């Protein structure tokens, strides 16, 4: 979805329900919106940049960002690290927003030159087992909620991709799902499960969706990402899942389980929509496909007498 949804209300800019800003900074967000729109950036990127730049502007208020120097940017980033204790990923997003503002809007790219990006932690995804995934599905009594989560897992979807699906994106003839405008503004196809297709047909007969495959409470509006996240959170809690998981964990589980079944990692890369296979290779570190065959040496040490090791 390209940047959109802007309108004037009583002369003040309103973007996606955001509050109006002071006259001093309102022009900044107008310019940011227009510059991102020209580049066809997503609305999600705009909201992220706006949020970071707003926090930056408020930190130095009443000074305008145009009045600041390189040292001020460094001071703010140190504040995010030391005082806010933000993650490396969030600080990286803030730096991207500030870089765009200074390089593209104010033509001062030197403002972030020489400032290193924080070292990003390398964390492995938490993976649900096949039994845990089934327990999540079984805990749901609402059919719509159940088929939503089943679709996310069966096709390896991001939650934002699932809520933006249209009925026409489900190709039952080719048994594929067309994902439009995914991360990086890329289209791709992923697999359609026969089990999920049968469920979707039952869902279609019951709900008759029109514009969006999964509509929210308001007719013609897609189901919200946050509502879908809450559905998963409630289901995981009811299923007794103690792991630190989110709805995105279903996508992780999809990739890991495919790998354990022997699916070539190149195919998994395409299904997930990763630009580089190195991104997909993270699942080799959490898969039991090879590690599960390795026998710990303690088994030999603690082997009961009379029982031969294999």
What residues act catalytically?
158, 183, 248, 251, 274, 283
3-state secondary structure 232-296: HHHHHHHCCCCCCCCCHHHHHHHHHHHHHCCCCHHHHHHHHCCCCHHHHHHHHHCCHHHHCCCCC
- Are the beta carbons of 65 and 57 closer than 8 angstroms? yes
For residue 224, give the H/E element and its range. Answer: none
Sign of CA dihedral 197, 199, 205, 210: negative
Classify burial at 253, counting beta carbons within 10 Å of its beta carbon; exposed 0-12, middle 13-18, buried 19 or more: buried
Prior bond to 62 cis, omega within 30?
yes
Q: How many residues does the chain have?
A: 310
- C-alpha span between 236 and 242 (Å, rounded): 8
- C-alpha span between 235 and 256 (Å, rounded): 21
- C-alpha span between 11 and 153 (Å, rounded): 45
193 contact partners, CB below 8 Å, separation of at least 6: 150, 154, 155
């Amino acid at each position: 979805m390209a940047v959109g949804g802007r309108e004037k209300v009583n002369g003040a800019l309103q973007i996606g329900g955001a509050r109006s800003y002071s006259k001093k900074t309102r022009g900044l967000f107008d310019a940011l919106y227009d510059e991102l729109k020209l580049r066809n950036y997503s609305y999600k990127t705009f909201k992220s940049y706006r949020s970071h730049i707003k926090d930056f502007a408020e930190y130095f208020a009443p000074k305008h960002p145009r009045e600041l120097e390189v040292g001020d940017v460094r001071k703010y980033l140190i504040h995010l690290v030391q005082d806010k204790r933000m993650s490396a990923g969030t600080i990286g997003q803030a730096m991207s927003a500030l870089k765009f503002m200074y390089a593209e809007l104010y033509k001062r790219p030197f403002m972030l030159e020489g400032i290193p990006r924080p070292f990003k932690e390398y964390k492995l995804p938490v993976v649900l087992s096949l039994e845990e995934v089934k327990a999540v599905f079984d805990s749901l009594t609402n059919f719509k909620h159940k088929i939503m989560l089943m679709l996310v897992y069966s096709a390896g979807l991001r939650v934002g991709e699932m809520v933006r699906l249209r009925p026409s994106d489900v190709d039952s003839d080719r048994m594929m799902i067309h994902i439009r405008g995914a991360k990086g503004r890329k289209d791709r196809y992923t697999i359609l499960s026969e089990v999920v297709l049968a469920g979707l047909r039952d869902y279609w007969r019951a709900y008759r969706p029109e514009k969006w495959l999964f509509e929210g409470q308001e007719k013609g509006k897609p189901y919200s990402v946050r509502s879908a996240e809450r559905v998963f959170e409630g289901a995981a809690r009811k299923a007794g899942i103690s792991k630190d998981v989110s709805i995105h964990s279903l996508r992780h589980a999809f990739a890991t389980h495919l790998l354990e079944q022997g699916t070539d990692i190149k195919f998994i890369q395409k299904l997930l929509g990763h630009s580089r296979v190195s991104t997909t290779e993270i699942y080799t570190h959490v898969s039991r496909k090879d590690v599960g065959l390795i026998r710990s040496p303690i088994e030999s040490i603690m082997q009961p007498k009379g029982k031969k090791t294999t």
